[in-house]
A and B are shown apart, each in its own frame.
Chain A
Amino acid sequence: MKTILKIIAILLVASVIAGGFSLAVNNISSTSGPTGGGQPPAMTSADGQSTQPMARPEGGDNEGGASIADGLSGILFTLIKLTGITAIVLLIEKVYGMLSSRKLSPAER
């Protein structure tokens, strides 16, 4: 029973956040004009005539399909990015720790 209440609390907070995102998207859509933010902008050619954007061919860029080679290189790239971020934070933590321990050391007082 207690666990269910906790899950409801988590879902409630998540719904509030999702509601915030929905509001943001609605605002963007309403301020971006009659296209509603969801349509691509109308294109005009050099002579001022309106042209239709070229339709994307079905499956042409393999968006829905899987490519293990591409995926693995993507995972590797994500891991490199994560390593970089982690290293930067650890470095900042270390520098901060060194500075604060220097401040507190009795020799410095």
Chain B
Amino acid sequence: MSTKTNLVLDLTMFGAFLVISNPRFTGSMIHEWLAVSLAGAVITHLLFHWEWIVKVGGEFFKKLWHQSRLNFVVNILFFISMTGSLFSGLMISESVLSTFGIHLNVSQSWRSIHTLMSDVSLIMLGIHFALHWKWVTTNLGRYLVNPVRNLFKRPATESNVMAVQRVRVNNDK
């Protein structure tokens, strides 16, 4: 999978996460359905990185310490917190489950778990983001910042080119 596709997916997920973490912005119905879509995006993200997961998972107990192991542990905790958050959200949902004709008694415990897991997910996202800081900044620069900067750069006109050449000739003299 290309880096550009990865970046687009990751940025979309990041935006969705920000919106989902503030249900007041969208209202509960969009909050719930967007969270279901995010679950799909998480699965796609994991499929994109499947080889890494299998490789590091296989080597997990072989080496005592390396950066990938820290990444792996953080990613596992992130996955657990996201699953907990999404599942507890489903258990207290008003529109998603009722669409399928399922009506559950909303338990206060599920609400507490939803709040707790959402907070943990936010912390894990921050750590996950920091551990991939180099990748994110490099590719944001390559695929987003530089193309936008190039758009606003003045194209070199013929008179500009002539002026530059004249300066060079004068300097040579």
A→B interface (CB under 8 Å): 3, 6-7, 10-11, 13-14, 17-18, 21, 24-25, 28-29, 36-40, 62-68, 70-72, 74-75, 78-79, 81-82, 84-90, 93
The answer for the CA separation of A82 and B125 in the assembled complex, in Å, is 8
Known contacts A7-B43, A14-B83, A90-B130: A75-B107 contact under CB 8 Å: no
Describe A's contact surface by its main secondary structure: helix
**The one of B22, B46, B129 that contacts A10, using a Cβ cutoff of 8 Å:** B46
Q: Which residues of A contact B123 (CB under 8 A)?
A: 85
A70 adjacent to B126 (CB under 8 Å): no
A10–B25 touching, CB < 8 Å: no
Name 5 interchain pairs, CB-CB below 8 A, sorted by A: A10-B47, A18-B87, A39-B108, A74-B21, A85-B122
B24 at the interface (CB under 8 A from A): yes
Give the number of residue pairs across the A-B interface with Cβ within 8 Å.
Answer: 110
Could you tell me if A78 and B21 are in contact, using CB atoms closer than 8 angstroms? yes
Whole-angstrom distance between the alpha carbons of A66 and B34 in the complex? 14
Selected from A18, A28, A85, A87, the residue in CB contact (under 8 A) with B109 is A28
Any A CB within 8 A of the CB of B127: yes
B 24-64 to A, binary, CB cutoff 8 A, 1 in contact else 0: 11111110000000000001001100100000000000000
Q: Is B94 an interface residue when CB atoms closer than 8 A count as contact?
A: yes
The CA of A28 and the CA of B108, in the complex, are separated in Å by 10
